Structure 1
Amino acid sequence: MPARKFALPGAGDSRWQGVPMDSSPQRIVMPRLEALPHLRSAASPGLEEVVRFFHARLPLAWEIYVRPHFNGLSPDVVLLNPEVGLAVYRLVEYPIWEGGYAFRRDSPGSPLTLYVQDEAGAVPVINPFAALRSTRENVAELYIPTVRREWGSVGFGAVTAGLIFPYASEEEVTRFCADAAFQPHRYAPAVSREALARERVHRVFPESGRSRSKLMSETAAAELRAWLREPEYRAAQRQPLVFDPVQKPLVSTRTRSGLRRIRGAAGTGKTHVIAGRAAHLEAQGRRVLVLTFNNALIRYIRDLVDRARAPYCRDERVTVLGFHAWCKLICEQAGFTESYRALWRHHKPDEQRTEEGRQVALKHVCDEELPRLTERALETLDRLGGHRHTGYDALLVDEGQDWSPHWWHVARRAIRNGGEFILAADATQDLYGRAESWTDEAMSGAGFRGKWSELYTCHRLPGDYLPFVSEFASRVLSHKEGDQIPGTRPLQLHAPTQMRWRQVPGGRVPQYGALAVAELEPVAREDPAAYSDVVVVVPTRSLGVELVTHLEHLGINTVHTLQQDSRAASAAKRGFSVGNNGVKVTTMHGMKGWEARYLVVCVEAAESEKVRRALYVALTRLKVSETGVCSYVAVVTSDPQLRQYGCDWPVFIDETGVAGSGASA
């Protein structure tokens, strides 16, 4: 079928030119209209025009939210009026001309599946009518519990859920609805391009003319805003990285030898410097390899590199990978695929081997055998004349305390002669026991001499929270040489950090952890944060799985890295990002290098130094808000040894019935 060209109705029309691109200060629009072209997934022309339409025609009391996460529903536009109700719209932008689509049942009794025609033939897509029904039911059932509780099924009257076809005629929309056996009505409109062009807001949104509804209230609106507000990370991703006077020369200059080692406590900006240096070298035409041990950190570093790049610079000369993923890549490119696969057969499930034995075998493969195989693969590539995955101009390693000196020597072989090398580390965050292998002799052998470049100023942690983290390090951790404790931070005005410590009975951490997330809802009434800004950190996969189950029972969507299969878990970590929609749940190891403004930390027993250091890492993930509003941290634990420290928190809640000092809720 030949391609059909579309012209957006009203685009370029004088009737639309009076609609300002900047949001009116009297209306809430999130994100702001001028930011729509700069979203991570840019708004289509059709979506921009629909938002302009509502912005120009609706009464000012209506709030507009563009592509909110909404706990995984992900509609295109949501309209909210605390006096009237809610409208959720999805755009249908694929062709629906006659012959361009078909509704079919793949098997008797199965739901209708929609197929649309493209160059490759008939392609299945989400049935918009099924999505519409699901959205309306989920909104009424889960996200405005006040309305549901007070009005029952009548509460559905507070919710409009519609489809907008910005490129389709009235005739095409009517036929499309009839083919799907869908009858549009007041609370489920199907909007054509003519309705938009005629500027008839009552046709697009019938409930827009209502000034008040007994079904809706400010309380219900507050419940919804917690899901609708743009997460802070999304706004931050549109802002360039800013570096302090100590960080700037590390980003913009090279040492005489080309080698530099950077250390600093949590939150001092080591990863920001790595990203900034990578972008700076890329702008000079250099190829940069950024490696880290933590797979969950890859997407975060990529996002920071994007923010550090100069506007419109997208040369993509920066490669960001986990060390072991890079090793696999090198082995495959050198033709060592079978040898690579053979390594992993040693730790496959075996009835004759205990779980501890499998973990020992896995560690030996990761720490010793795979790096040695990668060295051989690099030698092969060198003999073949190099490859695009070697011959980089710079190697930048983040979370270097997680590396062994052997890994460093292997990765260095991918860099050209005269290249640049940076190692950023914090021994206090050593969770794998490898930092101690970096002796003075090992450092010298790696090419490092002289003093470290030091980062002292903590930019991440809120000023009123910083003393509690430092106190934890002093009182709870065993001191080791090279430990970096967060010190001062620049003067920055921000709302008081909400700190809550909950001491709970043994075995109840998952339930109370889910409660700590749910308790954010009243906090969000004063500071309407998105639940996508919430990160829950746990020490073990098993605890995390239990907690996710409790969150789902509360109707809270999650994104996690807790898959049982090691390969699936590794893939989930690589795809894990602050940009993921939903409350994020990950392990303390997986959270290294990350930051969050809403943080819930759950731990049952912290008896070993290893777990206590992991807990310290988790506590240092709290981020001060870039907009000056409050940050929130809650710790849920059943470990009695942590009780004395927790009693000193501003809010200490004792669920165990054991008397203790400290502030109470």
Structure 2
Amino acid sequence: MTGRIISPSIEDFSKITPPLNEGEEKVFHLFNNNLDKNWEIYTQPFFNGKRPDFILLNPNVGIIIVEVKDWELNTLKDQQSHNKHNVPVNYLRNLKENIFDMYCPTLAQKGLNAFAAIETVLFYPKIIEDDLKNIYSKIAEEPRAYIFSKDDLDSNNLDKLKTHQYKSSKLMAIEDADYLRSWLVEPEHSIEQRTTIKFDRHQKELIEAQNLRRRVRGSAGSGKSLVLVARACRLASKGKNVLIVHFNNALNSYLRDLSTVIDRKIKNKIEFYPLFQKFKDILLENNLGDKYDETWAKHKVDQEYTDTTLDTPLNEIAKLLINNSDYLPKLYDAILIDEGQNFDPLWCQALEGLLKHDGEMFLAGDHTQDIYEKNILWNNYEKKINSQSIISRGWKGFRGRWFELKKSYRLAPEIADLCQVFTKDFLFEDPMLTISQQTEIPYRSDLKWVQVNKEAIIQYAFDELFNLHKKYESKAVSMTDIYALCQYRRIGIELSNKLEEKNIKTSNTFDDNGYKERKKKYYFMKGSERIKLTTFQSIQGREIKAAIVIIEHASSPIDFRNIYTALTRLKKDEEEVSKLTVVCSEQKLESFGKKWPKFETY
């Protein structure tokens, strides 16, 4: 059957995780060979925490939810004996109600009759019809719910399905299909797992070079993190002990995911740590744990939060490690520091105490995203290096000038130009590197600025969040690819609560308990099957294709650098559109917002 929308494509079926079993493959081919070409087939769609085997969608007819149980009869009877044989039926019934109420609410607006636009199929490819009738006699009477057997599969027959015989229906419209499709299209994270990454000449030079002590800086989207992780993978593949360290807890899972894309076999051979967690582990493992606890207690700082209030205790801990460096085990052949603009040079010196003789240290950063005001410390570091005062204390430090990655591979010219304007108008010092140099890439972006009153910012953010999923030309954005980037935790918590009231689950980095919040940041994964909410700080280092940026206030240089960080997270997509909507209540930024392709004010 040609001309059908199949997601993911048949060519990528071998790469689906978990892979299709024999029964699921047979059922897929049954549908693909017999359904009208207007029926779209979505395999294992990410569905807000659920993952049915198939969703069949015809914009003119209806929706079919399919669950395949590749069980033998004895397995089904065993499930029956434990009163669990109705579990898949209940699962389908619940998902049908969720689609009607939440994922395709335009259907519900038509009234309860529209519930008939959704059918369910429970398929047993290995069990014959008569055996199933004995077990599912009552369930078989439920309207629009069908049990399919081995007989149906062998006879290549879909006649049980009423909608299979229709060309159109008054209950279903293209608008309904567009809304649902945003939950069905394959999310970016799954596609990335099958993507081969290409590097330019300068990136390859950094990845393949011999022992390095180098600092690399580049604009947003220049591939700094990608190069850093690729180098780590290359070293680990040679049997080297490698540590990747960063300041942002929420970056941990992203970097691990990135290593999987580069080399799936290597991920578990690299250590990934937030800085303070690594400091803590080293002290605990070397009988200095009491000093760690004393330091935090003395400054009365909640060690779970990563802001500038951590500087003093982290500096004291770094000095403790430096003073005891002769006694610390030399664990690593290489230490690579991502988002290095967030690091105090003193912390790097402390980390060097964990390096083996002639080990390498690699730091990547973008000083335009200096959200913790560390630029001045690196300027002082440069002066000390020149005077050799640091080297005389035993720190090898970094050598030579910054290596620059000058091309942005992520930002389209349209958003890059806007960010350049923002840099000139609102960052009160010249950035060390701009994002003006672009590669020629096919790229479409949908950029919108919404200026609102502060009191209404949550409601407008909520509304715009759901506008993001709408089709652009022929493509829809997966709901699981959408991020809400919040200037403050308070905004994120309010928006998350509002979504939860509508039964829309979220993956977020917020919790009133500091310990639990830190854990949520560790496992803030791109592959989560939910809409994602986080802060400007916690999104640093990541790249995303669809986002709402919520700005409430801006006055200080840190405010503007945080906003710049959020605006530069948008990434290119060579096949689909990338979307960025800003919802802003800060009047100082209204004139900047009017320069965007779409501007609305309320």
Contact 2:472 2:577 in 1 (8 A): no
Counterpart CA distance in 1 for 2:79 and 2:548 is 47
Displacement of 1:56: 2.4
Aligned to 1:77: 54
Change (3 A) 1:466 1:379: same
Aligned to 2:210: 254
Displacement of 1:339: 6.0
91, 115, 121: which one aligns with 1:156: 115
Aligned to 2:255: 301
Displacement of 1:174: 4.8
Deviates more, 1:29-38 or 1:325-334: 325-334
Change (3 A) 1:158 1:568: same
Aligned to 1:330: 282
Contact 2:42 2:185 in 1 (8 A): yes
Aligned to 2:353: 413
Matched, 1:101 2:79: yes
466, 478, 483: which one aligns with 2:416: 466
Contact 2:328 2:354 in 1 (8 A): no
Residue 233 of structure 1 aligns to a residue in which SS? helix
Aligned to 1:230: 186
- What does 1:46-445 correspond to in 2, within 5 Å? 46-92=23-69, 97=75, 100-101=78-79, 114=84, 127-150=87-110, 152-168=111-127, 170=129, 173-174=132-133, 177=136, 182-183=139-140, 185=142, 187-203=144-160, 205-254=161-210, 258-309=212-263, 313-314=265-266, 316-334=268-286, 363=310, 367-371=314-318, 382=329, 391-438=331-378, 439-441=381-383, 445=390
Contact 1:230 1:529 in 2 (8 A): no
Quick one: which amino acid aligns to residue 122 of structure 2? L
Quick one: which amino acid aligns to residue 477 of structure 2? A
Aligned to 1:650: 597
| CA deviation vs aligned residue, 1:197-246 (integer Å, no higher than 9, x gap) | 4432334x453233322211222211211221112332123102111222
Displacement of 1:532: 1.5
Residue 75 of structure 2 aligns to a residue in which SS? coil
| CA deviation vs aligned residue, 1:599-658 (integer Å, no higher than 9, x gap) | 21101111121111100100011112132x322211111111111221222222121xxx
| CA deviation vs aligned residue, 1:99-142 (integer Å, no higher than 9, x gap) | 633677xxxxxxx7x49xxxxxxxxxx93233222111111122
Aligned to 2:519: 571
Change (3 A) 1:646 1:360: closer
Contact 1:514 1:547 in 2 (8 A): yes
Quick one: which amino acid aligns to residue 437 of structure 2? T
| CA deviation vs aligned residue, 1:40-82 (integer Å, no higher than 9, x gap) | 4434444333323322232222110011123333222100111
Change (3 A) 1:46 1:434: farther
Displacement of 1:477: 0.9
Displacement of 1:195: 3.4
| CA deviation vs aligned residue, 1:397-424 (integer Å, no higher than 9, x gap) | 1101111222212222332212222100
TM-score (norm. length: structure 2): 0.89
Aligned to 2:543: 595
Contact 1:503 1:654 in 2 (8 A): yes
Displacement of 1:276: 1.5
Displacement of 1:530: 0.8
Deviates more, 1:520-529 or 1:230-239: 520-529
641, 644, 649: which one aligns with 2:588: 641
Counterpart CA distance in 1 for 2:578 and 2:480 is 14
Aligned to 1:659: none
Change (3 A) 1:149 1:451: same
Change (3 A) 1:230 1:264: same
Aligned to 2:435: 486
Change (3 A) 1:452 1:184: farther
Contact 1:289 1:394 in 2 (8 A): yes
Quick one: which amino acid aligns to residue 614 of structure 1? N
Q: Percent identity, aligned pairs only? A: 29
Contact 2:222 2:410 in 1 (8 A): yes
Change (3 A) 1:41 1:372: farther
Displacement of 1:561: 0.8
TM-score (norm. length: structure 1): 0.81
Change (3 A) 1:367 1:338: closer
- What does 1:605-616 correspond to in 2, within 5 Å? 605-616=553-564
Aligned to 1:7: none
| CA deviation vs aligned residue, 1:449-493 (integer Å, no higher than 9, x gap) | 21111011111111122111000010011115x632212111122
Counterpart CA distance in 2 for 1:588 and 1:315 is 27
Contact 1:405 1:442 in 2 (8 A): no
Residue 281 of structure 1 aligns to a residue in which SS? helix
Relative contact order, CA 8 A, sep 6+: which one is greater? 2
404, 426, 437: which one aligns with 1:454: 404
Residue 66 of structure 2 aligns to a residue in which SS? strand
Residue 622 of structure 1 aligns to a residue in which SS? coil
Counterpart CA distance in 2 for 1:339 and 1:478 is 39
Quick one: which amino acid aligns to residue 440 of structure 2? L
Counterpart CA distance in 1 for 2:570 and 2:178 is 24
| CA deviation vs aligned residue, 1:485-533 (integer Å, no higher than 9, x gap) | 21211112223x2221111112221111111112224445643121122
Aligned to 1:623: 571
Contact 2:307 2:372 in 1 (8 A): no
Change (3 A) 1:376 1:128: farther
Aligned to 1:503: 451
Counterpart CA distance in 1 for 2:560 and 2:350 is 31
Residue 321 of structure 1 aligns to a residue in which SS? strand
Counterpart CA distance in 2 for 1:588 and 1:370 is 27
Residue 4 of structure 2 aligns to a residue in which SS? coil
Residue 573 of structure 2 aligns to a residue in which SS? coil
Counterpart CA distance in 1 for 2:155 and 2:324 is 66
Displacement of 1:168: 4.9
Aligned to 1:515: 463
Consecutive unaligned residues in structure 1, runs of 5 or more:
1-23, 105-111, 116-125, 350-354, 383-389, 656-665
Counterpart CA distance in 2 for 1:42 and 1:366 is 48
Change (3 A) 1:421 1:503: same
Change (3 A) 1:99 1:196: closer
| CA deviation vs aligned residue, 1:547-578 (integer Å, no higher than 9, x gap) | 22333455544221112211211111111122
Displacement of 1:379: 6.2
